[in-house]
Amino acid sequence: MEQGEISLSEREFSRIKDRVYKVAGISLSDAKRTLVVSRLSKIVRSLGLTSFDSYVDYLERGGNAQDGQEFVNALTTNLTRFYREDHHFEHLRSYVGGLIASKPRGSRLRIWSAGCSTGQEPYTIGMDLLGAFPELKRWDFKILATDIDTAVIAKAARGIYPENETAGLSAERLKPFQRLGDGTVKIPDAVRELISFKPLNLIAQWPMKGPFDAIFCRNVAIYFDKPTQGEVFGRFSKLLAPDAFLYIGHSENLGSGGEGFRLVGKTIYQCKPKSNNRAAA
């Protein structure tokens, strides 16, 4: 055991698994024991506690909202990159191109990046679409980016990344990035202004009403169990505009939440027509 880590009993691990499932929907497997110890030991010690049992007791009886958020932040996984799963952006460009051709100038376009992590996904959407369709600057075009982890949301909102995170991108895709001269790059203001970064727990109440023209929720549902996955995907279908699209991760499927969708491409689902009309929000 590494210096600074605290031993974790089966009972304590079970309590931590139960709590993170209850508050965030995250289903921790037994293989995550080492992750739990390494990520929570520092927090436990900083509180002056000596065991994970006492830490869970603290969260349940005396901890404040910030303590609870720190617990969730520590147990989330944030892996992402620019232009991850490129075929999704190719499809999105084609879809948005069709919307532009069929709708009047200044029309509304809403995209949600659910589980946006440190922001590479929503920034990719913004840069890619503005690069392909400059006329979107004259549209009512906005991107909502949400994540349960408040730490990654704060990082995403800054829009500054190590330059090596753009390695492998084509010269064309590198053009929008502003090099700051200190080994970092910045997302251009024209793209940052499109995006609202907000904390959101996908298993809690959602304040937005939609409709969205596209939702990206990729490599997020893999941390949920099957019933939770089905519930979340089913809720997405209610917020999507008719014939809009949902993009999910390469190892995910909709399961019981797929009733409102039809598969149209690799991990790309189209929302089936709805019988009711909903007002835009």
Residue tagged 């497997």 (tokens): 29
H helix count then E strand count, the chain: 10, 10
H or E segment at 161? Answer: strand 160-162
Cα 225 to the chain's mean position, in Å?
17
Say how far apart CA 211 and CA 200 lie, in whole Å.
Answer: 17
Cα 144 to the chain's mean position, in Å?
10
> For residue 280, what are the contacts with CB-CB under 8 A and spacing of at least 6?
108, 210, 211
Q: Are 125 and 216 in contact (CB under 8 A)?
A: yes
Q: Count CB neighbours of 54 within 10 A.
A: 15
Active site residue 108: no
Helices (H), the chain: 10-24, 33-46, 52-61, 65-75, 86-102, 120-132, 150-158, 171-174, 189-192, 226-239
Backbone angles phi, psi at 146, to 5 degrees: -130, 155
Please pick, among 33, 39, 93, 235, the residue that the annotation labels catalytic.
39
Please pick, among 128, 147, 149, 213, the residue that the annotation labels catalytic.
147
Active site residue 147: yes
Task: Give the pair of three-digit tokens for residue 260.
Answer: 């409102």
DSSP state, residue 224: S
Active site residues: 39, 147
